[in-house]
């Protein structure tokens, strides 16, 4: 529901709810951001600071309930990604912006550094390629360590060799998002929670968004499509930052060339926490060599000293479009996954005790490529791709999307929205 009014949109939405569903109210708007995850929030904050009139539409009751609160909260250095990729560029730039922002605003974060470890002889050369790649991506200060040196740094660690990344760190993503929301609101942005964009259509050259109150979808959803909008918004700028559902939503923008919308795939990652850790076994982030689809089951610490292991990679089926808008994905963490975690973790942490892992939480990666396909890059589509002025679609914003959020915002606002 709209909390504050922008151009009468609140009244319109209310009225529309009471009227016959077939009579949608039409309202103009300046900038609409779809999705209040960390990326949408960074875009909204930046647009608001530029003096634009911003309306954020979020299907959930509050911000940050999707992938943005279901991740490792690691500030990545930018090592892994192919040179010249958006992931590499946005990660390195985003990391700089994020550290600066967190320092200025007093957002809890900690540059604790990370060790990528080789535990078998075949993995040792992979560390050198990662170091080269990192250097090409502009990640400074990477340092190769022999096993004994790394194990002196981390007495519980077992490894043959390690790559030390001092610029990696952790951030309290909730505090970060809270700060972005506050700043956007201070610059007159409006947040409309419990509000779902169910689709849209192209009229002339502009995207008309079809908007419903989420609770009405709950009641009347029943798989009936197309959904009747209660409100049609006609913004100058639309940023589709709907995360896992961004491609499914774009497919419901009638008139948009759907040839350019990538297919959506989903890979869940589970986390387990370490029980009874008064003394965390590690002081740095510890990462194995990356696996297909993810970075490997690694050690993360959060700012409360909680130790967590994860995420693994489990490819899962998607859900239908409206269920995805309502975040009805399966986030369960079955205790049985722990069986695969113990041997993976013991490769670098041999003292891990039986029974010490407790199910934590899970997150789902918004993938654009399927298992065994080449990993895809972030996809940012503006007018040059789809021909619609003012529309920006963000697809496949998986890791390092948290680290990259402020750089993505900087890029799209500079390129498309000012």
Ligand X SMILES: Cc1cc2nc3c(=O)[nH]c(=O)nc-3n(C[C@H](O)[C@H](O)[C@H](O)COP(=O)(O)OP(=O)(O)OC[C@H]3O[C@@H](n4cnc5c(N)ncnc54)[C@H](O)[C@@H]3O)c2cc1C
For ligand NAG, the closer of residues 196 and 241 by Cβ is 196
The per-type count for the chain, helices as H runs and strands as E runs, is: 12, 21
Instruction: From residue 378, give the alpha-carbon distance in Å to each of 140, 237, 375.
Output: 23, 20, 10
d(CA 307, CA 353): 14
d(CA 317, CA 371): 12
Smallest CA-to-CA distance from 40 within 243, 209, 313 is with 243
d(CA 213, CA 194): 6
Smallest CA-to-CA distance from 77 within 56, 59, 94 is with 94
**Candidate list 123, 251, 315, 316; residue touching ligand NAG; CB under 6 A:** 251
Tokens of 212: 């419903």
d(CA 208, CA 224): 21
For ligand NAG, the closer of residues 223 and 355 by Cβ is 223
Smallest CA-to-CA distance from 406 within 188, 162, 109 is with 109
The one of ligand NAG, ligand X, none whose footprint includes residue 81, by CB under 5 to 8 A per kind, is: none
Binding site for ligand X (CB under 6 A): 34-40, 57-60, 65-68, 71-74, 76, 196-197, 241-245, 249, 269, 311, 325, 327, 363-365, 397-403
Least distance in Å: CB of 27 to ligand X?
16
**Candidate list 109, 252, 284, 367; residue touching ligand NAG; CB under 6 A:** 252
Q: Closest CB to ligand NAG belongs to which residue? A: 320
The one of ligand NAG, ligand X, none whose footprint includes residue 363, by CB under 5 to 8 A per kind, is: ligand X
The one of ligand NAG, ligand X, none whose footprint includes residue 59, by CB under 5 to 8 A per kind, is: ligand X
Place of tokens 């490997």: 296
For ligand NAG, the closer of residues 23 and 225 by Cβ is 225
Tokens of 289: 């060599």
For ligand NAG, the closer of residues 46 and 252 by Cβ is 252
The one of ligand X, ligand NAG, none whose footprint includes residue 252, by CB under 5 to 8 A per kind, is: ligand NAG
The one of ligand NAG, ligand X, none whose footprint includes residue 40, by CB under 5 to 8 A per kind, is: ligand X
Least distance in Å: CB of 221 to ligand NAG?
10
Q: Between β-strands 231-240 and 285-287, what pairing exists: parallel, antiparallel or unpaired?
A: unpaired
For ligand NAG, the closer of residues 309 and 395 by Cβ is 395
Least distance in Å: CB of 407 to ligand X?
11
DSSP secondary-structure letter at 121?
Answer: G
Smallest CA-to-CA distance from 293 within 345, 370, 396 is with 370
For ligand X, the closer of residues 364 and 388 by Cβ is 364
The one of ligand NAG, ligand X, none whose footprint includes residue 225, by CB under 5 to 8 A per kind, is: ligand NAG
Place of tokens 């250095």: 77
Q: What is the CA radius of gyration of the chain?
A: 22
Tokens of 53: 């009139």
d(CA 249, CA 33): 13
Least distance in Å: CB of 56 to ligand NAG?
12
Site for ligand NAG in 218-247 (CB under 6 A): 223, 225
Answer left, alpha or beta for residue 368, where phi above 0 means left and psi between -120 and 50 means alpha: alpha
For ligand X, the closer of residues 16 and 151 by Cβ is 16
The one of ligand X, ligand NAG, none whose footprint includes residue 194, by CB under 5 to 8 A per kind, is: ligand NAG
d(CA 33, CA 391): 10
Partner residues linked to 299 by β-bridges: 286, 309
Binding mask 192-221 for ligand NAG (x = CB under 6 A): -xx--------------------x------
Residue 355 found at the interface with ligand NAG (CB under 6 A): no
Which residues sit at the interface with ligand NAG, rule CB under 6 A? 1, 3, 61, 193-194, 215, 223, 225, 251-252, 320-321
């Amino acid at each position: 529901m709209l909390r504050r009014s922008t151009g009468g949109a609140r009244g319109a939405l209310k009225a529309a709810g009471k009227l016959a569903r077939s009579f949608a109210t039409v309202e103009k708007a300046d900038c609409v951001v779809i999705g209040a995850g960390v990326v949408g929030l960074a875009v909204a904050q930046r647009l608001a600071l530029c003096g634009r009139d911003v309306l954020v539409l979020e299907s959930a009751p509050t911000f940050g309930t999707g992938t943005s609160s279901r991740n490792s909260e690691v500030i990545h250095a930018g090592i892994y990604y192919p040179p010249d990729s958006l992931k590499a560029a946005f990660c390195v730039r985003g990391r700089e912006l994020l550290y600066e922002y967190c320092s200025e605003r007093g957002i809890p974060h900690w540059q604790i550094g990370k060790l990528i470890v080789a535990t078998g002889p075949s993995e040792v050369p992979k560390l050198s390629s990662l170091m080269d790649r990192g250097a090409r991506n502009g990640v400074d200060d990477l340092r190769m360590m022999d096993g004994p040196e790394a194990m002196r740094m981390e007495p519980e660690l077992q490894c043959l060799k390690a790559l030390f990344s001092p610029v990696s760190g952790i951030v309290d993503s909730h505090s970060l998002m809270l700060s972005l929301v506050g700043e956007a609101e201070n610059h007159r942005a409006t947040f409309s929670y419990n509000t779902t964009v169910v689709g849209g259509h192209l009229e002339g050259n502009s995207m008309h968004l079809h908007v419903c109150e989420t609770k009405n979808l709950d009641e009347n959803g029943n798989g009936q499509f197309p959904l009747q909008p209660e409100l049609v918004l006609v913004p100058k700028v639309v940023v589709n930052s709907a995360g896992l559902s961004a491609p499914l939503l774009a497919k419901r923008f009638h008139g948009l060339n759907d040839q350019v919308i990538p297919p959506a795939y989903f890979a869940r990652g589970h986390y387990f926490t370490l029980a009874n850790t008064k003394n965390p076994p590690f002081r740095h982030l510890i990462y194995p060599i990356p696996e297909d689809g993810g970075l490997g089951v690694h050690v993360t610490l959060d700012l409360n000293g909680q130790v967590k292991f994860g995420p693994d990679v489990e490819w899962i089926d998607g859900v239908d479009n409206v269920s995805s808008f309502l975040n009805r994905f399966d986030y369960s963490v079955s205790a049985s996954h722990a069986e695969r975690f113990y041997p993976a973790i013991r490769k670098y942490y041999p003292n891990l005790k039986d029974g010490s892992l407790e199910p934590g939480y899970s997150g789902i990666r918004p993938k654009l490529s399927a298992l065994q396909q080449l990993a895809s890059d972030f996809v940012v589509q503006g007018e040059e791709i789809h021909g619609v002025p003012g529309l920006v679609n963000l697809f496949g914003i998986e890791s390092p999307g948290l680290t990259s959020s402020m750089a993505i915002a900087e890029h799209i606002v500079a390129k498309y929205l000012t």
